[in-house]
Amino acid sequence: MSNLLENKAVLERYYEECLNKGNLDVIYEGAGDEHISHGTAPNGKEGVEHLKEWVRLQRASFPDLHVTVDDWILEDEKVVSRFTARGTHTGEPYEGVPAIGREFAVSGIVIDAFEGGKIVESWFSLDGLDLAKQLGALG
């Protein structure tokens, strides 16, 4: 159980320091160069640099991004985080949608697989259609 709690602590620090505060270097503490990310790019992208760039892009579009974990599930070497992301689109265009100051709140789930205390693979899913509607991308 202690490994599971340590894995959860890695993710708690990632959510708070990296996603919520923008300290991108925290990514290196929890994920390695071989990290594979599914759902942040087509066909899964490899490497901590991809993950760092993905977070940078999110925060560039939504400078006040705040992610709250609503539920944790810990089993074997996997941690599931059910989360709610909130923010205001005041920064860079997001996937071609210009910033006009719209607020959003969207739910999602991430499954992170760990080996040796590091995240080796992540599966990320959120309701992109709901996000697009809230940002005004669909009219």
The structural domains of the chain, with segments of one domain joined by +, span: 2-135
91-114 as b/e, with b when 16 or more CB fall inside 10 Å? Answer: beebeebebeeeebebebbbbbbb
- Tell me what pLDDT residue 9 has: 95
pLDDT of residue 45 exceeding 90, the answer is no
The one-character DSSP state at 23 is -
pTM: 0.91
Confidence of residue 22 (pLDDT cuts 50, 70, 90): very high
Confidence of residue 2 (pLDDT cuts 50, 70, 90): low
Q: What topology is assigned to 2-135 in CATH?
A: Nuclear Transport Factor 2; Chain: A, (3.10.450)
Question: How does strand 118-126 pair with strand 31-38?
Answer: parallel
**Range 78-102 average pLDDT:** 96
User: Residue 119 has which token pair?
Assistant: 């995240």
**Range 74-89 average pLDDT:** 96
Cross-strand bridge partners of residue 94: 97
- Tell me what pLDDT residue 119 has: 94
Confidence of residue 44 (pLDDT cuts 50, 70, 90): low
Using alpha carbons, list the distances in angstroms from residue 56 to 22, 72, 120: 8, 24, 20
The angle subtended at Cα 101 by Cα 100 and Cα 103, nearest 5°, is 130
Q: Bigger pLDDT: 50 or 10?
A: 10
Contact 86, 103 (CB under 8 A): yes
